[in-house]
Amino acid sequence: MRGMMKAALAVLAMGVLAGCATPQGATIAERQAAVLEMRADTLDALYEIHPIAREQIQNAEGYAVFSNIGINLFLLSTANGFGVVKDSSTGADTFMRMWSGGIGIGLGAKDFRGVFIFTDHDAMKRFVESGWEANAQADAAAKSGEKGGAWAGAIEIAPGIKLYQITETGLALQATIQGTKYWKDDDLS
């Protein structure tokens, strides 16, 4: 019985911590501004790490930047976040949310950014409209401020979509199978 209570508390704690990933601000305009500021800061960091990413984004059909907080506790993992998709042809921004849950071995928490580069317009449209991704993941990250480091190279996650992941802070060692759902943020759009 104690084991089940501990597991239930762990799952609750993971949900609460992952739920903390929301844009700050009292009004819609302030929350949108916070998301756009996160995007600008993330792109600046990406361009420092991978200068070629600037050219890839400039030549892309569009791109998306997400802020995520992920928690992995023994056999369960979850992540929650927000972001924005930029359509290069129209200049339109679509504000979005994300949630991820999975199973696997791991322990830790990390604050990370994901930059999706869409080289195919239909792939971007599908991402905005249906936004579902299922994946397997294995990583080790240790970073706090300017100390530590994490691998942050682009990977092809689907035809027409590349992903850069940048670890902001955290300590995690994990191997998980996760499902991630991205959807339009009706409160900000």
Specify the amino acid at residue 26.
A
Q: Count other Cβ atoms within 10 Å, centred on residue 61.
A: 18
In order of 126, 127, 143, 189, the CA distances from 55 in angstroms are 23, 22, 27, 28
Q: Closest Cα to residue 71, out of 80, 62, 63?
A: 80
Predicted local confidence at residue 48, as pLDDT: 92
Question: pLDDT 10s digit of each residue in the chain, 189 long?
Answer: 555 444 444 444 444 444 456 788 889 999 999 999 999 999 999 999 889 999 999 999 999 999 988 877 777 788 889 999 999 999 999 999 998 888 777 777 778 888 999 999 999 999 999 876 655 444 444 444 444 333 336 777 788 888 888 876 554 444 445 678 889 998 887
* Per-residue tokens: 25: 């601000």
pTM of the model: 0.76
Predicted local confidence at residue 5, as pLDDT: 45
DSSP state of 150: -
From first CA to last CA, the distance across the chain in angstroms is 45
